[in-house]
Structure 1
Amino acid sequence: MFNDIGPMELLTIIVIAVLVFGPDKLPKVIQDVTRTIRKIREFSESAKQDIRSELGPEFKDFDFEDLNPKTFLRKQLGNDDLGLQEIRNGFDLKKEMAEITDAVNGRDTGSSSSSSSSSSDAASPASGGKIDMTKKPEDPGKDERPPFDFDAT
């Protein structure tokens, strides 16, 4: 139950308990806490037994830890880290993000240039009014400056 508590944390808990309850009341508090934990465990075990008896003999090997989705998937899929290794191998996030960035910035990439159609209008009626993000925007000219807006500055 307390497998992840280190010795320093345990010592800290003991010191705080002594300060809060005092050395004369501490043994009684420890007994009450252990008794309560024991009753909770007995209650949960009896509830598990009742559920197993109600489910019938076909569920006699039913394990309640299987109700945890991660445990259930690990058991069903084997030890394949929930089947994520295949997804990780088939999907390169850096490559996908680079392609999206290039498409947004208007740079030509190998995969996006081959998938763009030969239509001259990116938002043509044939495309359903959708804007083709893979199409390179037309360059108005290197020397032209955009109009200066005095209200924006």
Structure 2
Amino acid sequence: MFDVGLGEMAVLVVLALVIFGDRLPQVAGQAGRMLRQVRQMANSARSDLQEGLGPEFKDFDIADLHPKTFVRKHLLEDDDDHRPSRTNGRLFDDEPSYATTAGELDYDERPPFDSEAT
């Protein structure tokens, strides 16, 4: 889960028993109630945001704002509709003939990656 092994978990349980003693079930119950309330608050905030944005953003998801998700969705996703077509191996009609070389990558092909380069 959080990269915590069995031995580390046992130490945490023993430490919790020493610190809280007989009140451990009460503290665990309070922590569970607090976590439930935080989830409810987050869900209500999300629904309020979606209602406030209107029907245009009905498919809006907060997770889409995460930078990795945003880049993956908007920059790395293949869109066949927006892909320019090549004619005679060239992207544009006025492109010089020397611009197309034997080692050129296709539009959707990724270049090789050298981890030792930088």
TM-score class, shorter-chain normalisation, is 0.5 to 0.7
Alpha-carbon distance between aligned partners in 1 of 2:116 and 2:19, rounded to the nearest angstrom:
55
Instruction: Give 2:36's match in structure 1, choosing from 34, 38, 41.
Output: 38
Query: What SS class does the counterpart of residue 78 from structure 1 fall into?
Result: coil
Alpha-carbon distance between aligned partners in 2 of 1:51 and 1:87, rounded to the nearest angstrom:
42
Q: Which has the higher contact order (CA 8 A, sep 6+)?
A: 1
Structure having the higher Rg: 1
One-letter code of the match for 1:33?
A: A
Alpha-carbon distance between aligned partners in 2 of 1:92 and 1:6, rounded to the nearest angstrom:
33
Aligned to 2:9: 10
Aligned to 1:54: 52
TM-score by length of 1: 0.48
Superposition deviation, residue 16 in structure 1: 1.2
Aligned to 1:88: 113
Q: Deviations over 1:9-38 (max 9, x none)?
A: 33222111111111x100000001111111
- Alpha carbon RMSD of aligned pairs, Å? 2.6
State the number of aligned residues: 85
Gaps of 5+ in 2: 79-109
Alpha-carbon distance between aligned partners in 2 of 1:38 and 1:45, rounded to the nearest angstrom:
11
The structure whose residues are more often helix, as a share, is 1
Alpha-carbon distance between aligned partners in 1 of 2:41 and 2:113, rounded to the nearest angstrom:
43
Superposition deviation, residue 55 in structure 1: 0.5
